[in-house]
A and B are shown apart, each in its own frame.
Chain A
Amino acid sequence: MARARPGLSPWLGLAAALPLGFLAVFFVWPVVAILRLGVGEGGVLAVLGSGQTWRLVGFTVGQAAASTVLAVLAGLPVAYLLARTSLRGLWFVRVAVLVPFVLPTVVVGLAFRTLLPDGGVFAIVLANAFFNVAVVARTVANLWSHVDGRAGDAARSLGASPLRAFRSVTLPALAPALTSAAAVVFLFCATSFGVVLILGGSRYRTLETEIYLRTVELLDLPGAAALSLVQLAAVVAALTVGALARRRGESALALRGRATVARRPRGALSWTVVAVALGVVALLLVPVVVLVARSFGGGLAGYRALAGFGHAGSLQVSGVDAALNSLRAATDATVLAVLLGVTASVVLVSLSRGRVRRGVVETMDTALMLPLGVSAVTVGFGYLVTLDMLPGDLRTSPALVPLAQALVVTPLVIRMVLPVLRSIDQRLRQAAASLGASPAAVWREVDVPMAGRSLLTAAGFGFVVALGEFGATSFLARPDTATLPVAIARLISRPGELNNQMAYAACTLLIVVTVAAVALVESAGRTRVGEF
């Protein structure tokens, strides 16, 4: 008597086809087309062999590594503050840390250009780290709040100093989260586009901005294709490291129960760490505050200017229309990304519940993360090459921007919804089934209510990320469908004081929406914000 694997239904294949099909049509195909286009014209090997290419790789990896180290050093004390202390006002720290992560890159680039007018490597590293402190702080805090402090206490009682206990007991326990966070941060920093473009100018170029320049300005497709190949290899490597670290993280977590570990800091060392963490939070606020202050530099002139088209018609749409374009595109992208991300999460969690080989699940998981790391420029240009082969005039359609944004947002939705679905006790679902709930009813009665909050969170974050998306949008948005970030980039690249004031005002609008979304999500309850 052979019984089917419980929990695996034929519908699963159909459901898997939706996100994987989207990934194939709107990601793999355009990227492969661009790569083939470049390789077809020859000269790829010449680019791969040139010293300039490897200097670019060196700079890209170097700045990403430096930014990652800085983000980890700044994120660890904040993780301690969030996970192990019970001070009042921690919700403010949570919001303050999270806002930079979802701020539009253009806004951050502008903020750091205002703070450090000379720009340069230092500004790039600082800005990249600024973005990613949240990733380190929240990923590590998540694990840290589950680590049983008694192992550290035992080390102390055996004669270890607080620092020694941290190094030899706590730090190894945090290693999975730390590695996973570092891999993700490295990925974000290595492919960061808007920040490097604004702060590096033509002097400091990474693979990502070089691909953009070669594609858009030099029309050097073989060069761009070769660089895309190099970048893809690096991204797959970083994602694999992240997946391996996650695997260890999950097995490590399984060993421990939830412990109430938050207490008031005690001793000089704890208070020092808390002080450092609060210092980091204060520093994170500086760029935001500077931008908002600047936006009022000319009274309300910048805000009034939003109704117009900037100095000497710098824009083809008014600031208000750009804002409306942003809202429309972000809404469409969020709806699409939530649909795709939830479907993918359901498929992934059903596969692991159905005891499908772990490798299969992890490969699919990693594949769905790929859009996070591949040059948005490559994807954007790929759209222009491939999408006119599809029925309907998609290439010139305003639907193109939300499609590209959904590609970026979907991985975020998966990373927020999947861990929550995975953490639902299988036996709770089995209890429902034993009470007569069909598989569909189990989802309706157990999974949906329990993961509902994380779904709202994912939608909130997805929305602000789509709102701020710059890389692919700058490539795909037509002048009359420009979004706010694209308009900001255009304004600051044109002369005129009015343009600057208008850009600051637009940035402030984006900041307000972002802060509101983050605060809303945070107040919706103390949800774990996925693995980021």
Chain B
Amino acid sequence: MALTVSGLGVSYGDLAAVSDADLTVADGEVLALLGPSGCGKSTLLRAVAGLEPATGQVSWDGQDLAGVPVHRRGFGLVFQDGQLFPHRDVAGNVEFGLRMRRERSPERVAEMLSLVGLDGYGARRVTELSGGEQQRVALARALAPSPRLLLLDEPLSALDRALREQLAVDLARVLRATGATALVVTHDHDEAFTLADRVAVMREGRIRQVGTPDAVWQRPVDERTARFLGCGEFVDATVSGGVARCALGSVTVEWERDGDVRLGLRAGALRVAREGVGGTVVWRVRGRDHVRVRVRVAEMVVDAVAGVGDVAEVGDEVCLTLVADGVAVLPPGRADQPSPRP
């Protein structure tokens, strides 16, 4: 394992920002630390960088980094808002890490700028760049000295949505192309799943679940993790032969073993269809390419999605069917919060 974090804790006075965190990142792997704001994920990343006094152990290839200061760790760092040196031009920023090692390599600078899609930007002033361009320069600057680990702290959060999606794809490409080992902190699932080989979900200073994006997305460990990952409603179900059956119908979950489970339902988990469980529309709102409806089914009220062409006015009787992509499977009976709108 390249990076090993064990029993790591960071406290500010009485407040434990991070408690007992264990993590590993393999060589060439990208791990995303995913969690709501204030969950301690940035603090954990800063402790790995050597910027926060911490208890526990951070080691690289088995070597304890306790006495190693930030500038000798060889860990590159990218902040949410670039933090470019305002008194240097783009090339001056990118070559900074090389200069600290007394190397001069205009070729390397040009190569890095090309990698992030900013060919010929070397002489620009950083204050003239857009937010997206600044982030690209920050990435090139961090990658130029070939860090053994890249630490990215909410690298895309300061950008607007369209730019964020574009840059997430570019960032994923750059990370793959350079074979970088990286730890990415984010509160955005899309971003985490786009960038990462594995995802660690954090909440209230603790790591709650670690796994591949598919595993975390499809099988959250508990209801609060599932809520953070977009599940709004939960129903009890029984799996048999790869099919889960519940009060709202049945859905294919091939990867699940037989037994009792709870299903977490995301926004698109229920669709208005020709057949399925019947209910009455009680509320309706038009979305961009779909219609969202709220439907009373027996003693429950659930949200569902209808096509724009589907007739689903308030008061209409409709049928609902479960969609596999919108369903997460949780362990049974762990209702740590009462289901909403029973």
Contact = CB atoms under 8 A, between A and B. Distances in A.
Please indicate whether A and B come from the same complex rather than being unrelated chains. yes
A204 B117 CA distance: 74
A430 to B, nearest CB: 6
Contacts of A431: 77, 79, 83, 85, 138, 141
A437 B88 CA distance: 15
Given A1-B66, A437-B71, 17 more contacts: A5-B53, A427-B79, A430-B83, A431-B83, A431-B85, A431-B138, A431-B141, A434-B70, A434-B73, A434-B75, A435-B145, A436-B71, A437-B100, A438-B69, A439-B69, A446-B85, A449-B87
B83 A427 contact: yes
A24 interface: no
Contacts of A450: 86-87
Given A1-B56, A450-B86, A430 B66 contact: no
Interface string A423-461: 001011011111111110110011001100000000000
A266 interface: no
Given A6-B50, A441-B100, A445-B96, A434 B71 contact: yes
Contacts, number: 85
Which interface class (under 10, 10 to 19, 20 to 34, 35 or more) fits A? 20 to 34
A436 B145 contact: yes
B96 to A, nearest CB: 5
B155 interface: no
17 contacts: A1-B55, A1-B56, A3-B53, A6-B53, A425-B83, A430-B49, A430-B77, A432-B96, A433-B51, A434-B151, A435-B76, A436-B72, A436-B74, A437-B96, A441-B71, A442-B71, A445-B85
B86 A433 contact: no
A3 B47 CA distance: 11
A434 B76 contact: yes
Interface size class of B (residues with CB under 8 A): 35 or more
Interface of B: 49-57, 64, 66-67, 69-77, 79, 83, 85-87, 96-97, 100-101, 138, 141-142, 145, 147, 151
Nearest to B78: A431
Contact of B142 (A6, A435, A445): A435
A314 B151 CA distance: 73
B85 A430 contact: no
Interface of A: 1-6, 425, 427-428, 430-439, 441-442, 445-446, 449-450
A367 B85 CA distance: 34
Nearest to B53: A3
Contact of B83 (A4, A428, A436): A428
Contacts of B50: 3, 6
Contacts of B69: 6, 433, 438-439
Nearest to A430: B51
Nearest to B100: A436
A3 B54 contact: yes
Pairs of residues from A and B, 10 with the lowest C-beta to C-beta distance, nearest first: A434-B77, A435-B97, A436-B100, A433-B70, A449-B87, A431-B83, A433-B71, A1-B66, A428-B83, A3-B53
B149 to A, nearest CB: 10
Contact of B70 (A5, A430, A446): A430
Contacts of A436: 71-72, 74, 97, 100-101, 145
Contacts of B51: 6, 430, 433
Nearest to A435: B97
A6 B74 CA distance: 17
Contacts of B142: 434-435
A428 B151 contact: no
A82 to B, nearest CB: 23
A470 B55 CA distance: 56
| Most A-side CB within 10 Å, residue of B56, B97, B147 | B97
Nearest to B50: A6
B145 A432 contact: no
Nearest to B58: A1
Contacts of B74: 436
Contact of B71 (A3, A427, A438, A449): A438
A300 B77 CA distance: 66
A510 to B, nearest CB: 35
Nearest to A448: B87
Nearest to B47: A3
Contacts of A438: 69, 71
A6 B79 CA distance: 19
A437 B72 CA distance: 8
A428 B85 contact: yes
A143 B55 CA distance: 40
